[in-house]
Structure 1
Amino acid sequence: MTLSFFDQFMSPTFFGIPLMALALTLPWLLFPTPATRWLNNRLLTLQGWFINRFTHQLLMPLNLGGHKWAGILTSLMLFLISLNMLGLLPYTFTPTTQLSMNMGFAMPLWLATVLIGMRNQPTITLGHLLPEGTPTLLIPVLIVIETISVLIRPLALGVRLTANLTAGHLLIQLIATAAFVLLPLMPTVAILTGVLLFLLTILEVAVAMIQAYVFVLLLSLYLQDNV
């Protein structure tokens, strides 16, 4: 029986335990915890340097009110990177290829940024729906367009992350299948296909990290408009 290429995006179970739950809890077990010693080891130092640089880069354009989101955004960044990278290992499952999970991250956080803007600065937040100097006849049309553009933001966040990871995983599986099929028939072409697969895997590692960063960066930009 030939399985579908999309079967890799289903959440399988192992001894009755859904791998989705395992993948969601595993990243927190992989990160080293700070020790009580005066001096940390190289891994903890590198982890602390990365978190500090990322937090500084992410919060630099935000006002002081947005700095309260440092813990949430940094934790989300590390969590998404871990899930995306773990999904590239054999016999693993990538939860971030599920649109429902990505929307579960995008929708509440986007809604929180909108509610913060409506509570703290309602005039400025509502003013974003109508650019300054708009002709009178275009005011109703622009308000509708800007409202749709604001409401579509969480969908764009979730679909972007899902589509990029799904496309990369499908392409890797297609090229790997072609390499196995061509190996007994045309070994030279199979070797070249394997080299292409290796390069594509490196590219997918970069995509996994970049997409997690883009997801959190866009959330910070939405927050910047409302604080």
Structure 2
Amino acid sequence: MMASFFDQFMSPTLLGLPLTMLAMLTPMILLLTPTNQWISNRTTTLQSWTLSTITKQLFLPINISGQKWTVTLITLMMFLISINLLGLLPYTFTPTTQLSMNMALAMPLWSATVFLGMHNQPTMSLGHLLPEGTPPLLIPPLIIIETISLFIRPIALGVRLTANLTAGHLLMQLIATAALAMISLLPTVAYLTALVLFLLTLLELAVAMIQAYVFTLLLTLYLQENT
């Protein structure tokens, strides 16, 4: 029974071919493309306003050179939001519950921010490893700790996204299974459990968007340190 709860996190296959790539390409059809008309529909206007607001909030403290990453990171955030929300639909698969995929997104982007800092301002980038005014005896351990902290960042990015989505999906399935099992024995309790499931689903909708935003926000903070 418990093993079946984790089957939802296995990559689906059809005729022996993995369908993960298909799940990753699906969000492309959900985002609307702005037209050249003076007046757009309400959905396009809302989408454009949301993207503009989020972009200003994320990239306002970043200098001009760092703002060149705007298109890349905003596209990444919308991609993650779409995938996370699609994964809440029945009979769907959420690629972001796979640690391998999240690490494949986190590692190159984090590495790019570090290499950018080392290339443009190596002194300042290395200065983050040692706070100003550190006593001489604490310099070696602090450098080691800050170096470990630096290399843990991409792991934390990938694990945070994976853990939050996996825990939410698993909890939803556990509650749904409990409600279905009790509906014939304890109808009242089953209906209350279904209500909890509904509230949890609303929470997961928020988590799906917040985790994508947090993933992008942390990348912008890393970028801000290196530009």
TM bucket (normalised to shorter chain) is over 0.9
SS of 2:35's equivalent?
A: coil
CA distance in structure 2 between the aligned counterparts of 1:2 and 1:65, rounded to whole angstroms: 50
Q: Does 1:76 align with 2:81?
A: no
How many Å apart are 1:3 and its aligned residue?
5.3
Aligned to 1:58: 58
Greater mean alpha carbon deviation, residues 34-43 or residues 154-163: 34-43
SS of 1:51's equivalent?
A: helix
Aligned counterparts, 1:158-169, within 5 A: 158-169=158-169
Aligned to 1:207: 207
CA distance in structure 1 between the aligned counterparts of 2:226 and 2:56, rounded to whole angstroms: 19
CA distance in structure 1 between the aligned counterparts of 2:12 and 2:128, rounded to whole angstroms: 44
SS of 1:133's equivalent?
A: coil
Aligned counterparts, 1:66-215, within 5 A: 66-215=66-215
How many Å apart are 1:79 and its aligned residue?
0.2
How many Å apart are 1:16 and its aligned residue?
5.2
SS of 2:65's equivalent?
A: helix
CA distance in structure 2 between the aligned counterparts of 1:182 and 1:226, rounded to whole angstroms: 55
CA distance in structure 1 between the aligned counterparts of 2:60 and 2:37, rounded to whole angstroms: 31
> Which letter does structure 2 place at the counterpart of 1:216?
T
How many Å apart are 1:135 and its aligned residue?
1.0
CA distance in structure 1 between the aligned counterparts of 2:176 and 2:79, rounded to whole angstroms: 28
> Which letter does structure 2 place at the counterpart of 1:127?
G
How many Å apart are 1:208 and its aligned residue?
0.5
CA distance in structure 1 between the aligned counterparts of 2:16 and 2:53, rounded to whole angstroms: 41
CA distance in structure 2 between the aligned counterparts of 1:19 and 1:165, rounded to whole angstroms: 19
TM-score (norm 1): 0.97
How many Å apart are 1:34 and its aligned residue?
1.8
CA distance in structure 2 between the aligned counterparts of 1:2 and 1:142, rounded to whole angstroms: 44
> Which letter does structure 2 place at the counterpart of 1:8?
Q
> Which letter does structure 2 place at the counterpart of 1:133?
G
Greater mean alpha carbon deviation, residues 209-218 or residues 17-26: 17-26
TM-score (norm 2): 0.97
CA distance in structure 1 between the aligned counterparts of 2:59 and 2:52, rounded to whole angstroms: 11
Q: Does 1:43 align with 2:43?
A: yes
What is the aligned length? 227
The percent of aligned pairs where both chains have the same amino acid is: 68
CA distance in structure 2 between the aligned counterparts of 1:212 and 1:56, rounded to whole angstroms: 17
> Which letter does structure 1 place at the counterpart of 2:67?
H
Give per-residue Cα distances to partners, 1:11-46, cap 9 Å, x unaligned.
Answer: 112455533122111100111112232221111111
> Which letter does structure 2 place at the counterpart of 1:57?
Q
Structure 1 residues 160 and 11, CA gap change in structure 2 (3 angstroms): same
Give per-residue Cα distances to partners, 1:143-175, cap 9 Å, x unaligned.
Answer: 000000000000000000000000000000000
Aligned to 1:220: 220
